[in-house]
Amino acid sequence: MYEDKTLKCKDCGNEFVFTAGEQEFYAERGFQNEPQRCKPCRDARKNAGQARKEYFTAVCANCGGEAKVPFEPKNDRPVYCSECYAAMKQQ
């Protein structure tokens, strides 16, 4: 029923394939317009407004392992790795 179509990206101008499977997916969801951007341009557009999170490395107060956290650790409060934090949360 559906056949692969070659479309042109409106951002970069490169050609990309709108596969039969993707067309079927669009039809199931009720989308009426074909995609206008290739996958790399769609991904870049989605991520453009998002700030990259900075992660800091600290020593886990429980096991002594490495803990990566999205905030700058202070010496007045303990920092836990993901595994230790999850275990403490379940208790």
- 16, 18, 50, 51, 80 from 22: Cα distances, Å: 12, 6, 26, 30, 43
Name the pTM for this structure: 0.53
pLDDT at 1: 81
The model's pLDDT over 57-90, given as tens digits with 9 standing for 90+, comes to 999 999 999 999 988 998 889 999 999 999 988 8
| pLDDT of residue 51 exceeding 80 | no
